[in-house]
Structure 1
Amino acid sequence: MRNTLYIIGLSAFVFSCTSQQNSKKRQYIPRTPATPSKTTAKTPIEKPKSQITTEHGVDFFTTNIADPTKNDNTVSYGSIVSAKPAGYKVVKSYFPAIGQNFRQRYLILHYTALPDDKSITVLSQQGVSAHYLVNNTGDNEIYQLVDENKRAYHAGVSSWRADKNLNDTSIGIEIVNMGYTADASGKKTFAPFDEAQVKKVAALVKDIVTRYQIPATNILAHSDIAPTRKQDPGPLFPWKKLYDEYQIGMWYDEATKQSFYDLASVDFQTKYNDSVFIFNVQTQLQKFGYGLDLSGKWDDMTKKTIEAFQYHFRPQNYDGVLDAETFAILQALVQKYPTK
C-alpha cells in the first residue's frame, strides 16, 4: 500500500514539473540582448600652456595664445600686475585666458608748440601729459613720460568713428615743434619738422603699432580726433613720407583719387552750395571717421573739419574750403579704408 502511494505521488510530481516546463516554453518571448548604456566621458578642461617667466619675483608673459585674426593678444609688454588679497593666494594655473586684447588701440600724434625745455616741464609737471616726447636736440633719445599701460592726458574731448574719449584707448606722442603763427587775417604759417626728428618719430611709431597691432586707420593727428579745436601736428608733418617709407598710417591711391577727381570736377561749382551735396560731403567725412554733425550747411564745424582733413591729406591747401581735389581725396580714402 505504501509503495503504491509513493508511485502515485512521484507520478504526480513528474507530471507537474513537465507541465510547468511546457508552460514556460509556450510563454517564452525572445529578447534582444540589452546594449550596455554608454556613459559620456567628460573632457577635462585643458589648461593653456602657461609660459610665465619669473625674474626676481616678478612674473612676465610674452607669448600670444589668442586669435590674432580677431586682434586678440595675450602678450604682456611688462610685468603681470596681480592682486594680493589678504589671507589668500592668487595662482596662475589657468593664465592666460585667450579672450583678451590690448587697451592700446590708437596712436595720436601732437606737436608741443613749445621749445624743448618748456615741453618737458609742461608735460611732466602739469596736468597734461603724453606717453612719449620726441625732442629736437639732435641726439638719439626719446623721452618716456607715462607707462604705456596707463592713460596719459593728451587727447581731451575726442572721437574717431565709433570711439570717444580716446585717452582711454590710445598712446600719445608729443613732438617738439613751435606750431604756427597767424597773421592779422588769421592765415596760419606752420613751423617745419627736422628730418632727424621725423626719423625718431617714425621708428617710435613703427615699434608701437607693431607691438599692439594698431591698424592704419587708428594712427591719427590730434586735429583728426578734435578738429574743431586742434591743429597739431599740422600740414607740415610728413604723413605721406611715413606712409611711403615706413608703411605707417593712411594714404590714398593716386589713380583712384584721379578717377574721382575727373567725375567731381564736371559740375562741382554748380552743386557746391546745394544742401544735398553738402550733406553728402558731411556724411563722407563722418563715414571716414570725423566727429561731425550733418547740418547740410557749410557751418564752422564743417569748415574746421575740412581744414583738419586737409592738414593730413591735402597739405598744399588747408583753407578749410572744399575743392574738387579735396573731395576726390576724401572719396578715395573712404573707398580704401571702409568702416568695418
Structure 2
Amino acid sequence: MPQPTGVPPIHVDHLPYATRLQARGLDAVDLVVVHCTELPDLATARAFGEQVRYPGSGTGNSGHWYIDRDGRIVEYVPPERVAHHVRGHNARSVGIELVNRGRWPDWLAVAHQAMDEPYPDAQVEALLALLGHLRATLPALRHIAGHEDLDTERVPASDDPAVTVARKRDPGPLFPWPRVLAGCGLQRIP
C-alpha cells in the first residue's frame, strides 16, 4: 500500500513482544524522546531490543522507531503501545533511536565518555521527516527531549567506582539540536 505524500518510508518490523506492551490512545502521547542506540549497528540494536528484560510481561527495552545512518526508518513498536525506553516517561512518550556508537562498548567507563560519532545528514533528514509525520498523526504531541534531559542519574564508573558518570548521555554532544528544533515544530523540555 503506498504511503501518503510527505510520509517518510517506514519499514514495519515489530518486536516479537510488541502486542504484549501496554496499549494506549494516541492522544496520550505529548512527548518524543530522542535516543542514540550506543551500539555499533542496527542489527545489534535489534538483537538488544528482542531480549526479554521484564519476565513478568515478557517484554524488553526498545524505542518505537530506529533510524539507521543511511536514513532508513524501522518501526519496532507501534505508537499505540508503551515502549520501555526512558524511565518515568514511557506512558506519555514515543522513543526514536538513532543508530550511533555513542560510548559503546564501555558505556560507563571513565575513559569512554566521549561521544564522537557525528549524525549523518541522511539520518537527521529522516528524523525531521519522521517528526513531521508524528506531529500530523499524534494529536497531543508538543514536546521533544533527549534521553539525557530526562534521565540525569549518575552512577559509579565501571572502571573506577570512586568516580561517577552519567547513566545516559544520548543523543549526546554531537546531536544537532539547533537544526532539529528549527525544523520540527516541537518545544524542547528543559
Q: TM-score, normalised by structure 2?
A: 0.65
Aligned to 2:151: 226
SS at match of 1:205: helix
Q: Give matches, 1:64-213, under 5 Å.
A: 102-114=27-39, 115-126=41-52, 127-136=60-69, 138=70, 141-156=72-87, 165-180=88-103, 188-212=114-138, 213=140
- Structure 1 residue 180: deviation in Å? 3.0
Structure 1, unpaired ranges of 5+: 1-99, 157-164, 252-287, 290-340
**What letter corresponds to residue 191 of structure 1 in structure 2?**
E
TM superposition shift of 1:170: 0.6
More helix by share: 1
Larger Rg: 1
Is this contact kept in 1: 2:103–2:113, CA < 8 A?
no
Q: State the identity %.
A: 27
User: Aligned-residue CA RMSD in angstroms?
Assistant: 2.6
Q: When the two structures are aligned, how many residues end up with a matched partner?
A: 141
Q: What is the CA deviation profile of residues 8-44 of structure 1, one whole-angstrom value per residue up to 9, with x for unaligned ones?
A: xxxxxxxxxxxxxxxxxxxxxxxxxxxxxxxxxxxxx
Which letter does structure 2 place at the counterpart of 1:175? Answer: L
Distance 2:115 2:134 in 1: 31
Contact 1:239 1:249 in 2 (8 A): no
1:110/1:185 Cα in 2 relative to 1: closer, same or farther (>3 Å)?
A: closer
Distance of aligned partners of 1:184 and 1:118 in 2 relative to their CA distance in 1, 3 Å threshold: closer
Q: 2:21 matched to which residue of 1? A: none
* CA shift in 2, pair 1:153/1:187, >3 Å: closer
State the TM-score, normalized to the length of structure 1.
0.38
Instruction: Write out aligned runs for 1:256-271 (5 A).
Output: none
1:236 aligns with 2:162: no
3-state DSSP class of the match of 1:180? coil
Higher strand share: 2
Higher relative contact order (CA 8 A, sep 6+): 2
Q: Distance in 2 between matches of 1:185 and 1:110?
A: 21
